[in-house]
A = this chain, B = another copy of it.
C-alpha cells in the first residue's frame, strides 16, 4: 500500500470534498496542520466542501463549531449535512401531515425547514396516527431509549408512511477509546425487527454527493465527477460513497481507519480508495 503526501494528491483536483470528523478534526481538536492545508487549498482557488453525516446540527451550527476549532474558512455555505439531504427529501415527497421524529429539538429544524410540522415520537397520539405523514430518525439524543424505541416500533407497525433515516452511521467516537450508538444503528434495529427498508441519507448514499456537486456548480458550472476528490477516514461511508458516485477517493489514516490495519481492511472490504494518505496535514 503506497502512502502519498496529501498535497500531491490534492494538486490534481479542482474540487475537494472533505469528511469532517477524523479528517479535519477529532475529539482533541483540529488534526495537525489541517487548518493550514484547507486554507492553502482555498487560496489556490480549489472549491472545497465538507460532507458530514450529521443531522444533529444545522449547517450554521456546524460552521460555528468549525470556527471554534479554528477552521474559519469553512462557512455555512460550504457544509453539506445529511440533515440537509433529508430536509430536501421531505420537501419533495411528504406533502401533508406531521413528521414524527427521534432526535433533539435542534435536529427537528430539518423537518421544520421543509415546511412541515415536527412532533417528537413521545408526543404522538396513538389514536390519531392518520395525522402522521412520515417518520424520521434524526439523532441519537433527545429521547428515552427505554420507552421511545418501543413506541416508535408500535407506531410503525400500524402506520404505512415513508420512514427516513438522516444518518446511516452505526457508531460515533465519544473519546479516544469509546464509542456510542449513532442513529443509523437504531434505524437498522427497527428495520430488522419490522422487516422493512427505510430511505437513508448520508454517505455512502449518493444524495450528499449530488447536493455537494450542485453547490459547487453554482461557482464552477462545468464541474463533473472527474474533477472531484472525496477525502475521508471511513471506508464504508466516504470511500464507498465516493467510489459509487464516480469521484476519486483518498483515504486518510487520521481517524477510523488505523495505519496498522488499513491494508487488511481495504482487502477485506473490497472498498478500494484511489489514494491513501497519512492525514491531510502530512
Measured CB to CB, the nearest residue on chain B to A163 is B270
Min C-beta distance of A175 to chain B, whole Å: 9
Q: Which listed segment binds B: A36-44, A54-62, A152-160?
A: A152-160
Taking CB atoms, residues of chain B closer than 8 Å to A271 are 197
Q: Given the complex of chains A and B, what is the CA–CA distance between A76 and B181 in angstroms?
A: 40
Find residues 59-79 in chain A having any chain B CB closer than 8 Å to their own CB: none
Contact of A146 among B145, B185, B195, B225 (CB under 8 A): B145
How many residues on the A side are at the interface (Cβ–Cβ under 8 A)? 60
Min C-beta distance of A160 to chain B, whole Å: 6
Contact across chains for A244 and B205 when beta carbons are under 8 A apart = yes
CB-CB under 8 A for A198 and B270, given A150-B181, A179-B153:
yes
Q: Does A123 count as interface, using CB distance less than 8 angstroms?
A: no
Contact across chains for A181 and B153 when beta carbons are under 8 A apart = yes
CB-CB under 8 A for A197 and B240, given A188-B189, A206-B207, A206-B210:
yes
Contact across chains for B195 and A268 when beta carbons are under 8 A apart = yes
Contact flags (1/0) for A153-178 with B, using CB distance below 8 Å?
11001101111000000110010011
| Interface, chain A (partner B; CB < 8 A) | 88-89, 92-93, 144-146, 149-150, 153-154, 157-158, 160-163, 170-171, 174, 177-181, 185, 188-189, 192-200, 205-207, 210, 225-226, 240, 243-248, 261, 264, 266-272, 274
Q: State the 7 A-B residue pairs at the shortest beta-carbon distance, nearest first.
A: A196-B270, A206-B206, A145-B145, A92-B246, A189-B189, A150-B180, A170-B193
